[in-house]
Amino acid sequence: SQQGEEDPQALSIQEGENATMNCSYKTSINNLQWYRQNSGRGLVHLILIRSNEREKHSGRLRVTLDTSKKSSSLLITASRAADTASYFCAPNTNAGKSTFGDGTTLTVKP
Amino acid sequence: DTGVSQDPRHKITKRGQNVTFRCDPISEHNRLYWYRQTLGQGPEFLTYFQNEAQLEKSRLLSDRFSAERPKGSFSTLEIQRTEQGDSAMYLCASSRGGTGVENEQYFGPGTRLTVT
Q: Which domain holds residue A13?
A: 5-109
* Per-residue tens of pLDDT for chain B, all 116 residues: 579 999 999 999 999 999 999 999 999 899 999 999 998 889 999 999 999 999 888 887 889 999 999 988 999 999 999 999 999 999 999 998 766 666 788 999 999 999 99
Domain count across chain A: 1
Nearest CA in chain B to A29: B99
Round to whole Å and give the CA distance between B47 and A43: 17
Helix or strand holding residue A68 (H, E): none
Please give, rounded to a whole number of angstroms, the shortest distance from the CA of B15 to a CA of chain A: 23
CATH number at residue A63: 2.60.40.10
pLDDT beyond 70 at A58: yes
Q: Which contacts (CB < 8 Å, 24+ apart) does range B79-84 have?
A: B79/B18, B79/B19, B79/B20, B79/B113, B80/B18, B81/B16, B81/B17, B81/B18, B82/B13, B82/B14, B82/B15, B82/B16, B82/B17, B82/B18, B82/B19, B82/B113, B82/B115, B83/B15, B83/B115, B84/B15, B84/B115, B84/B116
pLDDT beyond 90 at A5: no
Whether B107 and A95 lie within 8 Å, measured CB to CB: no
Whether B99 and A88 lie within 8 Å, measured CB to CB: no
